[in-house]
Chains A and B, each alone.
Chain A
């Protein structure tokens, strides 16, 4: 199956939070009691019961203040740091796009949380046997040919779902067709080597609080460099240390206590 992707067109989102509700329903996550905390974003952060949320951002543009509604969820990176981090292979990048999680394998080291450039994986801190929780790209749904729950529910079609190549083409087309409407950046096209979920926006991604200045390299390449050379290091160390040990110990006693036995 082709790798799927989603384009979130921030100019189309009206902040209804239908996706937030649909996601909770599909994934059977409980609702949380929240309180007003100074802006309309709720909850304050993604958490183990909330895989996606809409962040409300008011930014000052030339034409005056603009409200933007930013959907947050796992980006389903093309080369996910979380997958490469996991020591037991509990996280996996499926061929059709989703980065999925297997609780039975997980040991709870939380390296995936540390490694994720977008701080997406959340932990069930209140549990005795905690899960790592995050958006699954509705893996079962899309494997069965359906759209993700949040995409399906969106009343303004702010999300465009399809093969990732087509999603990228669509993003480029929208920006080219209306260069005044969009900033010329597809967020997620190159960030950390590309992500399955991408964004286009009418105001700068920086002012919307997106993580800027992320490397465009695939993050796992950084750790694969030392890992892939281990056989050579082992061979080198064995040869070097063996050689030195031989030269330095020639003709000395075999039992290394005898020499200074009292």
Chain B
């Protein structure tokens, strides 16, 4: 079986070189961080113990990788074969994403070399403990889901065939969805302890569901974004039907998210906070208006139209991604205001986060070029 993508291009492009440069800077910062500690590297303080790394590398990272389980469920559980071409890129993204999230956690915890502790020192009353376990198991599941692409890539066809069997894949996907529901929602549940510290525009007993639903939406948005962008880079035209299907899916997930989140705020009588003119209220309006409601309407409309409007879909999906990023950053630190305290991440915090993103992109590119990831893509 031929494993080549149609348009083989050299691994090193100008963009890739730039990414490798960012990875190089990352390596320097990473070593500095390991030698001098978290305080010397970051602008974190006792007032802002969680900053950019927790928000971006962990919260956003996990949310954006949610396409891995939503697409897998669509293709393997619902058996909607028309989306099959999305499955391998989505699983690849999630797998690479989670490995890099783990790397991000390694640099964020104060004692990186103790990171293995939760595996042996159990504390089942801690949400964080549960998240760690879910992420460890899910990353293993993702590795197994990814195995067929890898095995085919290195020519182990018979083993790949065994790993592709539905009797193997379907149980894996069932685990993937279950574990994802648990830890995506638990990332929100982490903040349940912050009752009284977080504004009621964010704090709610519905936090776990808000996190899960927004993750489903942004996972689909990322898949769509990635399909379009990768399609352009790897010169692989994308089927409009697929993009419209994804648009419909994102819009539906956004609608559920909006109903649950806004409904809860309205029922509890907290909507007034949104118009209080404070920094928090502005951030909230931005998050909901530009990140949820506008793209939701756009995507509903775009999923119907007969004409090929890839750019508008791309734009709307990017709004969704921006909205969820803002949401996570708001909850982790931006919406909280301690008097007299401002936190701006240090250049090293930005550099490390940028480096992690660059590593993801480089690994993704390598996999796209050398493994049979796109081979089932339909051509319109």
Footprint of B on A, CB under 8 Å? 45-48, 81, 83-90, 105-111, 113-115, 117, 119, 122-130, 211, 213-215, 219-220, 222-227, 230, 233-234, 237-238, 241-242, 244-245, 248-249, 252-257, 259-262
Residues in B with CB closer than 8 Å to A260 are: 81, 84, 376
Let me know if B196 and A215 touch, CB within 8 A.
Answer: yes
A261 contacts B1, CB within 8 Å?
A: yes
Give the shortest distance, in Å, between A92 (CB) and chain B (any CB).
10
* CB within 8 Å of A: which B111-151 residues: 111, 114-115, 117-118, 121-132, 148
Determine how close the nearest CB of chain B comes to the CB of A245; give it in whole angstroms: 4
Q: Identify whether the interface residues of B are mostly helix, strand, loop, or mixed.
A: helix
Q: Are B109 and A107 in contact (CB-based, < 8 A)?
A: yes
By Cβ-Cβ distance, the 6 closest A-B pairs, closest first, are: A108-B110, A125-B39, A87-B128, A222-B192, A87-B129, A89-B123
Residues in B neighbouring A224, C-beta threshold 8 A: 125
Q: Give the complex CA separation of A84 and B127 in angstroms.
A: 8
- Which chain A residues lie closer than 8 Å to B193 at the CB level? 81, 84-85, 114-115, 219-220, 222-223
User: B186: nearest residue on chain A (CB-CB)?
Assistant: A226
Please tell me if the beta carbons of B170 and A87 are within 8 angstroms of each other in the complex: no
Complex CA gap A61/B190 in Å reads 40
Known: A114-B50, A219-B193. A126 touches B169 (CB 8 A): no
Question: In the complex, what's the smallest C-beta–C-beta distance from A261 to chain B, in angstroms?
Answer: 7
Contact sample, A vs B, 23 pairs, CB 8 Å cutoff? A46-B46, A48-B46, A84-B126, A85-B128, A87-B132, A88-B117, A89-B121, A107-B109, A108-B38, A110-B49, A110-B110, A111-B190, A117-B195, A117-B197, A125-B44, A130-B111, A220-B193, A227-B124, A227-B125, A227-B189, A233-B181, A241-B177, A242-B174
Partner pick for A249 among B38, B79, B189, CB 8 A cutoff: B79
Residues of B within 8 A of A222 (CB): 192-193, 195, 205
Looking at the complex, which one of A88, A252, A256 makes contact with B164 (CB distance below 8 Å)?
A256
Contact of A211 with B196 at beta-carbon distance under 8 Å, contacts A106-B111, A257-B148 already known: yes
Map CB proximity to A onto B179-204 as digits: 1 under 8 Å, 0 otherwise: 00110011001101111110000000
Q: Take A84-B125, A87-B126 as given contacts and tell me if A237 and B39 are in contact as well, using a CB distance cutoff of 8 Å.
A: no
Whether A107 pairs with B118 at a CB distance below 8 angstroms is yes
A256 touches B166 (CB 8 A): yes
- In angstroms, Cα B85 to Cα A260, docked, is 10
Q: Which chain A residues lie closer than 8 Å to B182 at the CB level?
A: 230, 233-234
> What residues of chain B lie closer than 8 Å to A129, measured between beta carbons?
37, 110-111
User: A residues within 8 A CB of B45?
Assistant: 125
* Nearest CB in chain B: distance from A153 CB, A: 26
For the complex with contacts A86-B128, A106-B114, A117-B197, 14 further pairs of A-B residues with Cβ separation under 8 Å are A107-B115, A109-B108, A110-B49, A113-B46, A114-B194, A117-B196, A119-B46, A129-B111, A219-B192, A223-B190, A226-B186, A241-B73, A241-B77, A255-B164
* Chain B nearest CB, measured from A214 CB (Å): 5
Establish whether residues B208 and A226, one from each chain, have CB atoms under 8 Å apart when the complex forms.
Answer: yes
Closest to A129 in B: B111
Residues of B within 8 A of A (CB): 1, 35-40, 44-47, 49-50, 73, 76-79, 81, 84, 108-111, 114-115, 117-118, 121-132, 148, 161, 164-167, 169-170, 173-174, 177-178, 181-182, 185-186, 189-190, 192-197, 205, 208, 375-376
| Complex-state Cα separation, A29 to B347, whole angstroms | 32
Say how far A138's CB is from chain B's closest CB, in angstroms.
22
Find out whether the CB atom of B49 lies under 8 angstroms from the CB atom of A123: yes
Judging by beta carbons under 8 Å apart, are B194 and A259 in contact? no
| Contact between B49 and A230, CB atoms less than 8 A apart | no
Which residues of chain B are within 8 angstroms of A252 by Cβ–Cβ distance? Answer: 79, 166
Contact between chains at B79 and A123 (CB < 8 Å): no
Which residues of chain A have C-beta atoms less than 8 A from B77's C-beta?
A: 241, 244-245, 248
Q: Judging by beta carbons under 8 Å apart, are A223 and B189 in contact? A: yes
- Taking the closest CB of chain A, its distance from the CB of B43, in whole angstroms, is 10
Task: Say yes or no: B174 contacts A108, CB within 8 Å.
Answer: no
Name which residue of chain B comes closest to A45, CB basis: B46
**Distance in Å: Cβ of B343 to nearest Cβ of chain A:** 13
**In the complex, A129 Cα to B169 Cα: how many Å?**
43
Contact B39 A130 (CB under 8 A): yes
Q: Nearest CB to that of B134 among chain A residues?
A: A230
Q: Is the CB of B165 within 8 A of A85?
A: no
CA of A220 to CA of B182, assembled, Å: 18
The docked-state distance in angstroms from the alpha carbon of A85 to that of B88 is: 36
